[in-house]
Amino acid sequence: MPEAHEPLHHPDGRVMTDDEKHLARLGYRQDLSRTWSGFSNFAISFSIISILAGCFTTLGQAWSNGGPIAISWGWPFISAFILIIGFTMSELVSAYPTSGGIYWWASKLGGPRAGFFTGWLNWIGLVAVTASVAYGAANFVDIFISTISDSWAGNYSLQRVFIEFVVILVLAALANIFSSHLLAVINNVSVWWHVAGAALIVLILVVVPDHHQSLNWVFTERINNSGYDGGASNGVMFWFLVLPLGFLLTQYTITGFDASAHLSEETNTASHAAARGIWQSIFYSAIGGWILLLAFLFAVQDPQGVTDNVNLGYYASDVIFTQALGNTSHSIVVFISAAGQLFCTVACLTSASRMTFAFSRDGAIPGSGIWSKVNEHRVPVNAVMLVTVLAGLITLPALIEVNFGTAEEPIILPTAFYAVVSVAVIGLYLAFAIPIYLRWKHGDKFEAGSWTNGQKYKWMNPIAVIEIIVISIYFILPLYPSGWIGNENFAWKFVNYAPILTFGTILVVAIWWQVSARHWFTGPKHTIDDAVVRAFED
C-alpha cells in the first residue's frame, strides 16, 4: 500500500488527478469518463429544468388555479424557495461529488436505510421526469407539425402521439449511448438554444400581437377555473387551496437540477463546478422563465377564450399563441419549444441513467450487475436502456382515452401524463429533503467541501425541508372537486393518481427493506481497495 503522502497511480501508470483523489477518498475508482467542463455540468441541469418545456406544458395548471397572479407572483415566490433548496444541495455535492448524488449523501449522513429510501425516491422521480418531458415533447412536436399541415392537425390521436413519444425516447437513448463527450456538446448547445430561443419568443410576443394586456391585469387578475368553491377568486379556499395548486407550474419546471450531482464523476473540478451547476441553473432558469411567462400573459388577447380552451384540454400556452400570432410566427414559437424539450429529454435520460448506474453499483436495484456495467467508452449503456424502457412502460396508460370535450368538439387527453408529472415532483423533492434534513441534523460536525453555506445552513435547511413537505401535501390532493371520492360528480378520470403511485411505491420499498434489503444493503460500496481509501483519509 502506498504511503498517504505518495502520489497514487492508475494501473496504466498515470498519476491521479485531484478529482480522482477526491473520488477515491469516497471509495470509488474513476470508471466514468471525466470529460465535462463546469459549464457542461451547469448546462445539463439548465437543460433539464428547461423553461422551454415546463413553462409551455403546465401553464394551464397555473392558469386554472389562480390565473395570472399564480404566474406573475407565484413564479418568483416559489423560485426563491427552490433556490434555497439548491444552495443546500450545492453544499452537499461539494462534499460528496459522486454519481449517486442524493442517495449517497443520505447514506453517508443517515446510514443505509436513509440511503435506500432516498435512492428509490430519487430514482422513481428521475424515471418519471424523463417520461413526462419526453411525452410533453411528443405533444409539442405533434402541435408543430399540425401548424404546418392541416391534414395532420385533423387526424390527432393518442396512438400517434405515443408513437412520437417512443421515437423521441429511442433517439435520446442513442444520443446517450454514443458518447459522453457528445452529450456534453449537446447540453452546451442546449443552453444557448434555451437562451436565444426564449429571447426570440419574448421578442415575437412583444412585436407581433395587435395589443397587450395591462400591467395591472398581469399582476392582479385572479382566475379560479378549478371547480373549487364555485369558482370564487377570493376567500380562504382560493388563497390556501386553489392558488397553491397553481404553483405546480413552477415546482415542476424547476426540478431535475440534481443532474449536476449525478454527472459530478464526469466533471472536472467537481467539488466546485457541480455545486455551482446546481444553484446557477436554478437562478438563471428562474429569471429567464419569469420573463418568458410574463411575455405569455401580456400577449393574451382573450382571457375567457384561454379558459374555455383549457377546459377542452388544449395547452394554455398554445391557445395564447393561436390568439396572438399569425401562422408563421406561431409555428416558429412552437418549433423553438419543441426543440428545447427534445434537448431536455436527452439531459433527463442522462441524469436518470447515471443515477441508475450509481445505485446499481451499490447493489440496490435488482439486476445490479447488468445496470452498473459501462462500455469501452465508459458509458453505462445498460442503465440508459433500462430507464428508456421503464419511461415508456409507465406512460402506457397515456393510451387510455378520456374525453374532456363535447360531442361537437371531442378533445382526447391522457390523464396519465398529469400523474407522471406529480410523481416526478413529489419523488424528486422528497428525495432531496432527506439528506438536506440530515445535513442540518449533523450541524457543525458536517465536513464541508470547497463550496459551503457556512452558518446559513441553520436556517436554509429547515426552510428547504418545510417547503418540500408543504408542496408534497398539496400535489397529492385532487386537482378538481370531482376527484374526491364521495363527491356527487366523482369520476376516476379526475383522480390525482400521484399519491397512489408514489406512496404505493414507498410501501413496497418499505416492505422490501424490512423483509430483505436491510440484511444485505449496507450503503455505498467501495470500488477500490479499502486500504487506498484509508490512505487518503490519513
Mean per-residue pLDDT over the chain, rounded: 85
Indicate the residue type of 27.
G
Question: pLDDT value at position 41?
Answer: 82
| DSSP designation for 340 | H
Within a 10 A sphere around the Cβ of 231, how many other Cβ atoms?
A: 12
Q: Point out the residues of the chain with pLDDT beneath 70.
A: 1-20, 22-23, 26-35, 100, 179-180, 401-419, 493, 525-538
Question: pLDDT value at position 35?
Answer: 66
Packing angle, helices 158-178 and 381-394, rounded to 10: 170
CATH class in words for 31-396+407-521: mainly alpha
Question: pLDDT value at position 20?
Answer: 66
Q: What are the pLDDT digits (tens) for 119-143?
A: 999 898 889 899 999 999 999 999 9
Q: What are the pLDDT digits (tens) for 186-228?
A: 878 888 999 999 999 999 999 999 999 999 999 999 999 888 8
Element (H, E) at 223: strand 223-224
Residues 6+ apart with CB under 8 A from 341: 50, 52, 53, 56, 57, 133, 136, 137, 140
Question: pLDDT value at position 240?
Answer: 94
Query: What is the C-alpha separation between 126 and 355, in angstroms, rounded?
Result: 8
Question: pLDDT value at position 180?
Answer: 63
Model pTM greater than 0.95? no
Sequence ranges of the domains in the chain: 1-30, 31-396+407-521
Query: What is the C-alpha separation between 345 and 216, in angstroms, rounded?
Result: 37
